[in-house]
Structure formats: C-alpha cells, structure tokens
A and B are shown apart, each in its own frame.
Chain A
Amino acid sequence: MSVDVVVNEEDLAEVAGEVWVSYLDPDGVSPLVPTGDEKQPSEVHASVSISGPWTGHVVYASSTEAARKAAAAFLAMDSSEVSSEDLCDVLGELANIVGGNVKAMLPPGCLLSLPQVVLAPESATKYPNAERISGLYGVWDGEPVSISMWQSRDDKNEESA
C-alpha cells in the first residue's frame, strides 16, 4: 500500500507556526520567515522516521546558532549557558514534535521513530532510497531553519505503478 503526498510546505509552515507560538516565539516578535531557499546551509539536524502506509523521514535542520537559541527558549536559559546536551535534546524534541504533527496528517497506521540528532549539516546524513518531496525553508532572526520531508522511493514507485 502507498499513499499520495499529502503534506506540503503550507502544512509544515502551520506546524512550525504552532511550535514558534508555543515555545520559540511566544510573544510573536520573532517568527520563522519563509524564504523558499532550498540551498540554505545547515550545521545541525534531527530527524524522525515514519513507517507504514507512508514511509520516509521528517528532518529539522538549522544553524548551530538557531539551535542554541531554540534550546535557550525551550529551557528558559541564556543562550550562552546552553550545553551540547541541551542542544541535542532540544533538536530531538523539535524533530519529535514536528514529526508527530506530520504523522497526524498521514493515513492511519503510520509509526513514528524516536528522534536521531546529528551535530553536522543535513547533507551529512543520507536517506537511502528516499527523496525530498517537500520542505519549509526560512530564517529565524537571520539564522537558517528548515523542515523537510523525505519519502521512500519504493513508495513513490508503487504510487506510479
């Protein structure tokens, strides 16, 4: 069984908007501003895998500075106090929250993995047999942040079969 892609950039922006309002920008003064720049650099990333009727990955990537700011906001501390452990935990939680909300937009029966965090650019992680199908690319206080969806190529093949 396979499914059509149902999560697009607007859907990802809606999820991101909720995360920003709840945790990263509760005062509404520093939202994530979409740029559409798929080639923007990243320095750290976290992902969750989804398996079932839709199979693939949801990836949250950003600069280290944006991750540090996110950790500071999540943990209510100054960004200069953020440790590597804080950074990893917050990146994982961001991937988990975004992935969980994305899963809710997919057909029933999908399973969500625990998050994987990599303190290296998004390009350092390869997703075999998967291709990027949608993404939200933007800047937060001038720092790059992206959320992208990678779909298993086997799924894509079945769709066109």
Chain B
Amino acid sequence: MKILTLITLLLWAGLGSAGVEYREFKNPEQQEAYESLTSELRCLVCQNQTIADSNADLAADLRRQVYEMLEKGQSKDEVLKFMTERYGDFVLYNPPFKVKTLLLWLGPVLFFLIGALFVIVLIRRKQTSPKQVLSDEQQQKIRRLLDEGDRS
C-alpha cells in the first residue's frame, strides 16, 4: 500500500512541474492578476497554448515579464498594453473589438441570422403552399387499405 501511495505521489510530482515557477506575491490581488494575465496571453511559439500552460522558453520569459511588471505595481492593463505593443493583438486570447476583428466578433451573429432567415423562409413557404385535398376516390382507397391491414 505504501509503495502504491509513493508511486502515485511521484506521478503527481511530474504533473505539478509543468510550466510553473515558484512565485511569491505581495497580496492575493496580485496573484489573481498574475494568474488571469498568464492565462489570457498567448504563447507565440506554441500558438494554441497560453503562457501559463506552455513550457516553451519564451513563455517562461513572458511569465517572468508579467510577474516583474506586477511586482513594480503596474496594472493589468499596463501589462496587456506592453504585450500588444510588442507582439500585436495576436498575443491576446481575448481579441479587442476593432474594424479588423469585426467579422470575428459579429460572424456568429451573422451566421445565426442567415440560419434564422432560412428557417423563416422555409416555414413560410410550407404554410402558403396549398394543402393537398384528397379526392373521394383516394379516401375510399385509404379506408380500404386500412381495413385490409386490420384484418391481416
């Protein structure tokens, strides 16, 4: 049992070390700012990871940069400004609303409206199309077929 516990703990140790340095913060607000910033800045080397997730060298440097700026008492916005001035909007996981990103932000709404329009047109068309009225002959045929079905 003890060995099992030991193995489990050793396995956990590996997980814990991924992309994390030991940092000391002056207050909980600073820690909160650090955590939220590192999880909304993109690592530019491994582009689908935040700098908090990434083990890349550059991500570690950027985490250090964020930490040092916060240590100096700079605000979250100042850190974000620093990063976008150097790496462009691409560094932000939460892109700003601009002319260039208009389609990005409004695209989903646009597609929803197109879909809604399509559905409305479809329903309208169904409603206006004349209802098919069966002739007496056809109705009798239906009844006959149903009766036959009951008997068998």
Q: Do A and B bind each other?
A: no
Residues of B within 8 A of A (CB): none
